[in-house]
Amino acid sequence: MKKVTILYKKVEDFFFVTKGNSEFLGFFRISIGTMVLFHFLAIISDFDTFFSSKSIIPQDIMSVFHPGWLLTFSKITSFFESIGVSENTVILGAKTMFIMLCINIIIGFYSRFSSFLLLILQVSLLKGSSFFIYGVDFFTSMSLFYLILLPSDTYCSVLHFIFKKNTKVVNFMPVKRMFQIHISIAYFFSGFDKLLGYNWRNGESIWKAIHLPYANRDFNFDFSWMADHSYLLIFIGWATIIIEMLYPVFVWIPKTQKTWIMLTISMHLGIALVLNLYYFSAIMIIWNLTNFNFENESVAIKSPVFERRFYKKSSSVEI
């Protein structure tokens, strides 16, 4: 029974005792809001080509590949057209709303509600046009979901500046732990999936990736010399597998945490420079820094659920 009590206490402390500081809330909110805004601005000139009735892939064809209950932008457009609002007006409104919601998130003005609305709009736009989405869009949806759960307005925000007198203590640790476990699981299974096949183990996947038609178009690195040094391709393939599969182990150990974060960030910088996947790399770097770069300070607050007592030097957030 004593062992069960000790285990219970450790689990409680893990999920409810706040460690580090609340600066990650502001960093995550501002970084994600900025990244989503720049990502949207990068495609805004081609908005009609992707999401309107004039898209390069007709909307009725794309509708075959997503469930009927999914709220898509074409359904939203059809609804407004049925009440006399033109498609061009709906598109202009969607663009304006997307940009304004991103700005609200960046400055911290009701960012939870803004994230909720932006998530609905983002899902209707991108998930309803499944031919145009890739990894960054899924991670954007998940990031907005975490912004809804986290009290991100409580640090470096306009809302906190306005209402700073009316504050109460909020323990953000349960959501942060869920976030940390989430990214750990994601990296492990990404590496495990690579390990199952032979393409990553023999370097073939690396060779194919650096020669994809859309890759290496900005800097035009010359990788032809690697054909005579295939061992480097094998090394890079295995390094990727090891970094990802062992991420849930070494990122939780204080002595190896910074090293593993740097290795992971270096991997994503390589992906950005060679494969030109800038936004995907950016969002993964943000996730890494958010979860494990603000962990160095001592315990600040005991569990409000079980112990109901607080330390004066509390790094929990106030709202």
State the amino acid at position 257 in one-letter form: Q
Asked if residue 298 has pLDDT above 60, the reply is no
Q: Is 135 helix (H, G, I), strand (E, B) or coil?
A: helix
Number of Cβ within 10 Å of residue 1's Cβ equals 5
Cα 27 to the center of its chain, rounded Å: 13
Residue of 179, 315, 185 lying closest to 248 (CA atoms)? 185
Rg (CA), the chain: 22
- Reported as a pLDDT band with limits 50, 70 and 90, residue 296 is low
Q: Decide: 192 and 151 in contact? Cβ < 8 Å.
A: no
Answer yes or no: are the C-beta atoms of 272 and 281 closer than 8 Å: yes
Q: What digits encode the pLDDT tens for the residues 83-130?
A: 999 999 999 999 999 999 999 999 999 999 999 999 999 998 887 777
CA angle 276, 28, 271 (to 5 degrees): 15
Compute the distance between CA of residue 243 and CA of residue 263 in angstroms, rounded to an integer: 7
pLDDT band at residue 13 under the 50/70/90 scheme: confident
pLDDT for 129: 77
pLDDT reported for residue 196? 94
Q: Containing H/E element for 209?
A: helix 204-209
CA distance 98 to 95: 5
Neighbours of 250 (CB within 10 A): 17
User: Cα–Cα distance between 270 and 284 in angstroms, integer?
Assistant: 12
- How many C-alpha atoms does 318 have within 13 Å on its Cβ side? 12
Stretch among 64-68, 216-220, 246-250, 266-270 having the lowest mean pLDDT: 64-68
Q: Please report which confidence band the pLDDT of residue 62 belongs to, taking 50, 70 and 90 as the band edges.
A: confident
11 falls in which pLDDT band (50, 70, 90)? confident
Closest CA to 96 of 118, 63, 76, 120: 118
Q: Using alpha carbons, select from 289, 271, 274 the residue that is nearest to residue 135.
A: 271
Assigned token pair, 281: 């790399």
60 contacts: CB under 8 Å, gap ≥ 6:
none
Helix (DSSP H) and strand (DSSP E) numbers for the chain: 15, 2
CA–CA distance, 234 with 242 (Å, rounded to integer): 12
Residues 160, 153: Cα–Cα separation, whole Å = 6
Identity (one letter) of the amino acid at 167? T
Provide the pLDDT confidence category of residue 51 given band limits of 50, 70 and 90.
confident
